[in-house]
Amino acid sequence: MDDDSRQPKIGQIVEILKGRDTGKLAVILSVVDERFVLIADGDKRKFDQPKKKNLLHLKLYDRISSEVASSLSETGRVTNGKLRYAVQSVLNEQNGAHEKGD
């Protein structure tokens, strides 16, 4: 791979590029190895049933949810509500940016 920007981080927001959930946002829960991560969105894909995804099928955002990252590092768990909130806050930001652009 290239530089550090492609390195996935726990709590990072990603957009799914391939598969059934194409176009949806999710949060990285853990890094399996250099190719795979576990993701969940707290809604369709709960914390207890994360999806294993190839990094090539994900678009990594610069945004990292500090609530999700700190919760996972402290307790090893995160609530589905926090996952939904992290995804929703990015969606709200994107919608706000589109409205300002018009």
Q: Where are the beta strands (DSSP E) in the chain?
A: 12-16, 25-31, 36-40, 51-54, 58-64
CATH of residue 17's domain is 2.30.30.30
Q: How far is CA 64 from CA 54, 56, 85, 90, 100, in A?
A: 19, 19, 12, 10, 23
| Entry pTM | 0.90
Q: For the chain, state the CA radius of gyration.
A: 13
Residue tagged 């994900």 (tokens): 58
Residue tagged 């090539």 (tokens): 56
Structural domain that includes position 87: 4-101
Instruction: Report how many domains make up the chain.
Output: 1
pLDDT digits (tens, 9 = 90+) for 37-56: 999 999 999 999 999 999 99
pLDDT digits (tens, 9 = 90+) for 59-95: 999 999 999 999 999 999 999 999 999 999 999 998 8
